[in-house]
Amino acid sequence: MKSKQYDLVIVGGGPAGLASAIFAARNGHRAVVLERLNSPGKKLLATGGGHCNLTNTLPLEDFARNFGKQWRFTMPAFQDFSPQALRDFFSNLGVKTESPDGFHVFPVSNKASDVLNAMFSECKKNGVEILSGNPVKQLIAENGKIKGVVTDMGEIKADKVIIACGGRSYPALGSDGSGYRLAKFAGHQIIEPVPALVELHCSEKWPGACAGIALKNIRIGVHPPKRTAEFSKGDFLFTHSGISGPAALNISGTVSELLRQNGSAEIFVDFFPEKSASVWMNDFDLWQRKDGKKQVLKIISEHLPRRLAEIFCSESGCENTEASRLSRESREKLSSMLSSCRLKIKGTAGFDKAMVTRGGVSLREINPQTMESRIVKGLYFAGEIIDIDGPCGGFNLQWAFSSGHLAGK
């Protein structure tokens, strides 16, 4: 391919890249999307188990605050293209959305492919070129200004380039971390990436014996607790190697950072957030008086799935004990397992299985009003490549679309 000239080159055809292409093209810019895989948007197709949890119904500031200490950086992008604006955008493209539980927002068809196809059609309508199977290998910059990119097929010239390569998570779906190399070449600092929204692997053997047990309204935090932001609450799942489900996934980025720093991490799981250890101790007193002949296991099984109750009782040394004979030691162990069960985390399922990446291009070097680099003029960033990650619930896609919209404009 001979050197070609565009107004704008977008590196990466994920939701952030496609959104930026559409909004730039609507503003009259000649844009090309370069995608390393044989088709763009592969990760988008996998979102929400193929149903695509696009965003959610939280008010704007509450929405942004879910991004933790980085939340202020996200506000200009969300103010410019809010969750409602995203829903209106897709509605105008013929993809109606709904929120069956009043929080998560999905396309009414429940198909991520409808979301992607609508974006493809809009790209086509606005003259965006999409060149798949075209990984960008290098940037071209002169005197602090972007001039284009280098691909296997040659140079592509443009005075504006948006890097929307995603992070390092789920490389099978395209984001292999190569965007960080491009950003580094441009002089940007990369906050060391760690896997987030990822299954946690425990040192203890017993969680594996509970694989498949799903629980609701579970609270998890890192131990020792540091900040309130390091708690998460929600659905929880035991797996063969440890724990998953939104409550565990949402704390996993923080746990990954601790694993990177210390090689190990500890968390606590509160199976009954509305009930403290001392309330459990009072309950045990009551059972001893009222249900003394009843097996402790039978009573605990009324509160937890039988398999989990068996494990808790055996770990507390009271698997065959009547309530009236429950020792002080067993009572303390049991109440702490129910309200603050400690688990040692030895690792995670890693980038291969992580839904997002924590870390990425440092916020200090990006202007949040425009997404432009503060180092190289004409260079912009959008989506997960930036050091921003949110919890489960449509936060990350909204960030990809909102930051893509702002960069594209």
Ligand X SMILES: Cc1cc2nc3c(=O)[nH]c(=O)nc-3n(C[C@H](O)[C@H](O)[C@H](O)COP(=O)(O)OP(=O)(O)OC[C@H]3O[C@@H](n4cnc5c(N)ncnc54)[C@H](O)[C@@H]3O)c2cc1C
State yes or no: residue 16 binds ligand X (CB under 6 A). Answer: yes
Residues 312-331 that bind ligand X (CB under 6 A): none
Interface with ligand X (CB under 6 A), residue total 41
Backbone angles phi, psi at 342, to 5 degrees: -80, 135
Sign of the torsion angle spanned by Cα atoms 56, 65, 345, 233: negative
Distance in Å, CB of 298 to ligand X, minimum = 40
List Cβ neighbours of 143 (8 Å cut-off, separation of 6 or more).
none
State yes or no: residue 246 binds ligand X (CB under 6 A). Answer: no
Distance in Å, CB of 122 to ligand X, minimum = 16
d(CA 85, CA 74): 15
Q: Which amino acid is at 273?
A: P
State yes or no: residue 396 binds ligand X (CB under 6 A). Answer: yes
- Whether residue 56 contacts residue 395, with contact meaning beta carbons closer than 8 Å, is answered with yes
Cis peptide before 107 (omega within 30 of 0): no
- Whether residue 106 contacts residue 53, with contact meaning beta carbons closer than 8 Å, is answered with yes
State yes or no: residue 76 binds ligand X (CB under 6 A). Answer: no
Stretch that binds ligand X, among 47-55, 204-212, 232-240, 253-261 (CB under 6 A): 47-55
Q: What is the helix (H) or strand (E) element at residue 348, kind and residue range? A: strand 341-348
**What's 322's DSSP letter?**
B
Strand partners, 146: 141
Strand partners, 265: 345
d(CA 267, CA 344): 7
- Choose which of 76, 83, 148, 174 interacts with ligand X (CB under 6 A): 174
Which one, 122 or 322, has the nearer CB to ligand X?
A: 122
State yes or no: residue 170 binds ligand X (CB under 6 A). Answer: yes
d(CA 121, CA 130): 11
Give the 3-state secondary structure percentages of the chain, helix then strand then coil, rounded to 5.
40, 25, 35
- Choose which of 9, 31, 34, 341 interacts with ligand X (CB under 6 A): 34
State yes or no: residue 165 binds ligand X (CB under 6 A). Answer: yes
State yes or no: residue 87 binds ligand X (CB under 6 A). Answer: no
State yes or no: residue 361 binds ligand X (CB under 6 A). Answer: no
Distance in Å, CB of 364 to ligand X, minimum = 20
Stretch that binds ligand X, among 9-17, 90-98, 248-256, 316-324 (CB under 6 A): 9-17
Residue 397's Cβ-count burial label (10 Å; 0-12, 13-18, 19+) is buried
Distance in Å, CB of 302 to ligand X, minimum = 35
Which one, 112 or 334, has the nearer CB to ligand X?
A: 112
Strand partners, 9: 32, 161
State yes or no: residue 384 binds ligand X (CB under 6 A). Answer: yes
- Choose which of 36, 188, 219, 223 interacts with ligand X (CB under 6 A): 36
- Choose which of 8, 9, 10, 17 interacts with ligand X (CB under 6 A): 17
Which one, 315 or 365, has the nearer CB to ligand X?
A: 365
Three-class secondary structure assignment of 157-211: ECCEEEECCCCCCCHHHCCCCHHHHHHHHCCCCEEEEEEECCCEEECCCHHHHCC
Stretch that binds ligand X, among 15-23, 91-99, 124-132, 281-289 (CB under 6 A): 15-23
> x/- string (CB under 6 A) for ligand X, residues 100-139?
-----------------------------------xx---
State yes or no: residue 35 binds ligand X (CB under 6 A). Answer: yes
Residues 259-298 that bind ligand X (CB under 6 A): none
State yes or no: residue 383 binds ligand X (CB under 6 A). Answer: yes
State yes or no: residue 175 binds ligand X (CB under 6 A). Answer: yes
The CA R_g of the chain, rounded to the nearest whole Å, is 25
- Choose which of 76, 107, 179, 360 interacts with ligand X (CB under 6 A): 179
| Phi-psi domain of 286 (left: phi exceeds 0; alpha: psi -120 through 50; beta: other) | alpha
Distance in Å, CB of 392 to ligand X, minimum = 7
- Choose which of 116, 119, 130, 164 interacts with ligand X (CB under 6 A): 164
The residues that touch ligand X, with contacts defined as CB under 6 A, are 11-17, 34-37, 40, 42-44, 46-48, 52-53, 135-136, 164-166, 169-170, 173-175, 178-179, 355-356, 383-384, 394-397, 400
